[in-house]
Structure 1
């Protein structure tokens, strides 16, 4: 069976798409309702929790994919993608964090960008699977 037709992959797609719409909608809502430099309030905290819940939903969907993939090779490709993404994210944020500590003129990296950075790392992990190992994996 081709990876893209695997039932676990189809279920993953059905889960991830509405979560993605919820995330984008939550970011748009927060952007529209919270002015720049707004003080922390029940509204700002509540609106900040919404995209965070969607991010947790993405992580849950990815975890379910790993559990539901009965093909060990496909699961290994996904795990490799996650490891590449995590390694890239930890390396960049660690180096940038040290730069921020010792070079005050370096712009601060907003924590908001860490998860999108990890998601870009997933795409790079997929490229590693394809070009270093000859298989892009199921997703």
Structure 2
């Protein structure tokens, strides 16, 4: 994790990607954003990029590789595990079954997408501020 590293957004809904991107833009963060439509595309990026992302915001229900499968792939890969990238689910589903499944693995949060732009922006501000303020093994000196 790098405090100035990119924020990885994984969501198959382009409208949701655009909305999240607009929210992050209004927050005026120094962090660039990287967008992927499924877990496999994000995994390919994570395995090959020299970048150290600040965090991953991931939907659960996606084609090709869903968020739970991606989280399992990251947990099982020593290279990615060592990067210790905070993994946060940001999804429309608040199903108790999915919440429990999500927390059966290594995640750092599960958030339901907000219904309004302002609420969503506040939610993202909270998430980003937390991780920028949190001590982390990859940004301790």
Same fold (TM over 0.5): no
- Normalising TM by the smaller chain, what interval? under 0.3
Higher-helix-fraction structure: 1
TM norm structure 2: 0.27
TM norm structure 1: 0.27
Higher Rg of the two aligned structures: 1
